[in-house]
């Protein structure tokens, strides 16, 4: 998309958000005070207020909601994925609603119905998300054209990137596997009307990158450089000039300090909500396990967690009671490289265990570990001791955060991923953690479970 197209898109989005926010106020008011079903159950004790006061509240809401929307990233120039849009809308409307309620609590001259504000939050969240989704697709369809991108790199590097570009509907990639003939490259740029060049940093020398950058600047083409695998494994690199000269330093993991405690509070809240809805089904699952085979309902095993601490890890029992002894005899049958045992048709699994594992129901007792502070809802999976002891230094970085009941690799293929891919996803998570990322992983967990991709 061109620069002016981005501006137009943001202006249209902004205007639509204002209209939908006002519509949410009108609808919220009428649902609360004029919908018979609501009035019968929750009668307005002080009568029906004039809508004028909610018009005034709307003016106040604009001053609160729109800065929050901008802060959470509603109006970025970059077009986000559908899931990113959903996370931004939920995050933005929740923060804005809490702030608005706080202001109305302090502002005592006029009494506003908190019920109305709650209805406004629900309606505006749904409508604004649908509006963002619809406007994005219509805008791409009508106004935008495919963005032609030239990717220059080695064959194995380009193969990895191809998967990403297949999911991006508004990018049309062209691939080049060498950088020998510079003239041919710029002829290709002219023929294909290239808007951007993506080049692997490992392919070109420093001087070649400088020359390419100069020529791209001259032809008004945006140049982007993909870091090599080592840089990706090291995590985010920051520029530090505290010594008087610019140097690179590695960013510390995101899950430290206050972030660590924010995440723990989120874990406790989510656990309480989940248990309040699932306690009855869990009782029935426990009965089925007991009837299916001999042994305890819960399986407890030592795992290595945060900072290398060993803890008792809980799951619903899905294996025979002598499973650990049997493991020594079948370790050589593992179907995955690296210090992790995985076997598709594991003979140790019970009948009910196959069902529980297929849909990850066996993981639910880990709520006990979460409430005890040994685990989190989201994070790298806790490893059995013999696997964790075989970690190299890079993999040991997973131990710098609380292990999780689900995580990035669980929503990216589960057991079908290689050992290296699992580690890379876990390292990416701990370097780039945010509550928004946790929410995205949670939203993707159920589809990943029910797709049954790589589950065994």
Q: What is the pLDDT of residues 340-362, one digit of tens each?
A: 566 667 778 888 988 888 888 88
pLDDT band at 376 (very low <50, low <70, confident <90, very high): very high
Question: 80-130 pLDDT, tens per residue?
Answer: 667 777 778 888 888 888 888 888 777 666 677 778 888 888 899 899 989
Q: How would you write the chain as a 3-class SS string?
A: CCHHHHHHHHHHHHHHHHHHHHHHHHHHHHHHHHCHHHHHHCCCCCCCCCCHHHHHHHHHHHHHHHHHHHHHCCCCCCCCCHHHHHHHHHHHHHHHHHHHHHHHHHCCCCCCCHHHHHHHHHHHHHHHHHHHHHHHHHHHHHCCCCEEEEEECCHHHHHHHHHHHHCCCCEEEEEECCCCCHHHHHHHHHHHCCCEEEEECCCCCHHHHHHHHHHHHHCCCEEEEECCHHHHHHCCEEEECCCCCCEEEECCCCCCCHHHHHHHHHHHHHHHHHHHHHHHHHHHHHHHHHHHCCCCCEEEEEEECHHHCEEEEEEECCECCCHHHHHHHHHHHCCCCCCCCCCCCCCCECHHHHHHHHCCHHHCCHHHHHHCCCCEEECCCCEEHHHHHCCCCCHHHHHHCCCEEECCHHHCCHHHCCHHHHHHHHHHHHHCCCHHHHHHHHHHHHHHHHHCCCCC
Q: If you search the block for the tokens 């430290």, which residue do you land on?
A: 256
Cα–Cα distance, 10 to 451 (Å, whole number): 35
Handedness of CA 406, 432, 71, 140 (dihedral sign): negative
pLDDT recorded at residue 381: 85
359: which 2 tokens? 């849909």
CB 75 within 8 A of CB 69: yes
Identify whether the C-beta of residue 133 lies closer than 8 Å to the C-beta of residue 82: yes
- Please, where in the chain does CATH 3.40.50.20 lie? 147-226
Confidence of residue 233 (pLDDT cuts 50, 70, 90): very low
pLDDT of 220 higher than 90:
no
Here the tokens at position 383 are 């490893």
Q: Does domain 147-226 have CATH number 3.30.2350.10?
A: no
Two structure tokens written together for 306: 């945060």
Q: How confident is the model at residue 295, as a pLDDT?
A: 86
For the segment 269-316, what is each residue's pLDDT rounded down to a tens digit? 888 888 888 888 899 999 999 888 888 899 888 898 888 889 999 999
Q: Residues with Cβ < 8 Å from 315, sequence gap 6 or more?
A: 298, 299, 301, 362, 363, 365, 366
Angle between helices 206-218 and 182-192 (to 10 degrees): 30
Tell which wins on pLDDT, 329 or 416.
329
Give the pLDDT confidence of 322-332 residue by residue, as tens digits: 777 777 777 66
> In angstroms, rounded to a whole number, what is the distance separating the alpha carbons of residues 258 and 270?
18
Determine the distance from the C-alpha atom of residue 85 to the mean position of all C-alpha atoms in its chain, rounded to a whole number.
Answer: 11
What is the pLDDT, as a whole number, of residue 232? Answer: 47
| pTM score of the predicted model | 0.51
Weakest-pLDDT range from 65-79, 256-270, 439-453: 439-453
Residue entry with tokens 């050589």: 332
Task: Tell me the pLDDT tens digit for each residue of 20-57.
Answer: 999 999 998 888 887 766 666 667 666 777 888 888 88
Return the pLDDT at 285. Answer: 92
Tell me how far apart the alpha carbons of residues 444 and 338 are, in angstroms, rounded to a whole number: 26
Q: What pLDDT is attached to residue 202?
A: 64
The burial of 135, by beta-carbon neighbours within 10 Å (0-12 exposed, 13-18 middle, 19 or more buried), is given as middle
pLDDT at 23: 93
Residue 143's pLDDT is what?
Answer: 57
Rounded Cα distance, 362 and 316, in Å: 5
Tell me if 415 sits within 8 A of 454, measured CB to CB: yes
Mean pLDDT score of the chain:
77
CB distance 263 to 255 below 8 Å: yes
Q: How far apart are CA 73 and CA 98, in angstroms?
A: 18
Q: Of residues 123 and 174, which shows the higher confidence score? A: 123
Q: Is the CB of residue 82 less than 8 Å from the CB of residue 132? A: no
For strands 196-200 and 147-152, give the pairing: parallel
Q: Which residue from 149, 157, 246 is spatially nearest to 204, judged by alpha carbons? A: 157
Question: Counting every residue, how long is the chain?
Answer: 456
For residue 37, what pLDDT is reported? 63
The residue with greater pLDDT, 241 or 309, is: 309
CA 225 vs. chain centroid, Å, equals 24
End-to-end CA distance of the chain: 43
What is the percent of the chain where pLDDT is above 90? Answer: 9
Contact call for residues 148 and 172 (beta carbons, < 8 A): yes
């Amino acid at each position: 998309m061109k620069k002016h197209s981005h501006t137009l898109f943001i202006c249209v989005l902004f205007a639509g958000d204002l209209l939908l926010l006002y519509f949410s106020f009108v609808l919220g008011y009428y649902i609360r005070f004029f919908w018979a079903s609501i009035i019968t159950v929750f009668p307005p004790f002080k009568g029906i207020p004039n809508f004028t006061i909610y018009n005034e509240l709307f003016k106040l809401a604009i001053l609160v909601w729109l800065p929050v929307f901008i802060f959470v990233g509603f109006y970025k120039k970059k077009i986000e994925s559908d899931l990113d849009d959903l996370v931004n809308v939920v995050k933005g409307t929740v923060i804005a609603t809490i702030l608005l309620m706080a202001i109305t609590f302090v502002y005592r001259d006029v009494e506003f119905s908190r019920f109305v504000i709650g209805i406004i939050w629900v309606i505006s969240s749904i409508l604004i998300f649908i509006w963002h989704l619809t406007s994005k697709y219509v805008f791409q369809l009508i106004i935008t054209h495919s963005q032609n991108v030239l990717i220059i790199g080695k064959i194995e590097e380009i193969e990895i990137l191809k998967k990403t570009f297949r999911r991006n509907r508004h990018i049309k990639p062209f691939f080049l596997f060498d950088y020998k003939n510079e003239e041919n490259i710029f002829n290709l740029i002219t023929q294909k009307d290239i808007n951007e060049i993506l080049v692997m940093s490992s392919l070109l020398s420093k001087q070649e990158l400088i020359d390419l950058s100069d020529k791209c600047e001259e032809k008004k083409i945006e140049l982007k450089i993909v870091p090599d695998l080592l840089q990706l494994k090291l995590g985010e690199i920051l520029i530090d000039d505290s010594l008087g000269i610019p140097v690179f330093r590695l960013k510390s993991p995101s899950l430290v300090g206050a972030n660590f405690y924010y995440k723990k509070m989120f874990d406790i809240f989510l656990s309480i909500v989940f248990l309040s809805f699932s306690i009855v089904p869990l009782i029935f699952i426990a009965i089925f396990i007991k009837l299916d085979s001999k042994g305890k309902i819960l399986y407890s095993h030592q795992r290595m967690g945060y900072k290398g601490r060993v803890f008792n890890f809980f799951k619903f029992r899905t294996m025979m009671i002598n499973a650990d002894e049997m493991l020594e005899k079948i370790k050589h049958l593992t179907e995955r490289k690296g210090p992790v045992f995985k076997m598709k048709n594991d003979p140790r699994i019970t009948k009910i265990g196959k069902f529980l594992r297929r849909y990850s129901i066996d993981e639910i007792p880990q709520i006990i570990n979460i409430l005890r502070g040994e685990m989190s809802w989201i994070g790298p999976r806790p490893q059995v001791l013999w696997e964790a002891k075989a970690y190299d230094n890079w993999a040991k970085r997973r131990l710098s955060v609380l292990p999780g009941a689900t995580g990035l690799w669980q929503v990216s293929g589960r057991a079908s991923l290689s050992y290296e891919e699992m580690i890379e996803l876990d390292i990416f998570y701990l370097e780039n953690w945010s509550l928004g990322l946790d929410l995205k992983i949670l939203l993707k967990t159920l589809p990943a479970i029910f797709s049954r991709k790589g589950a065994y």
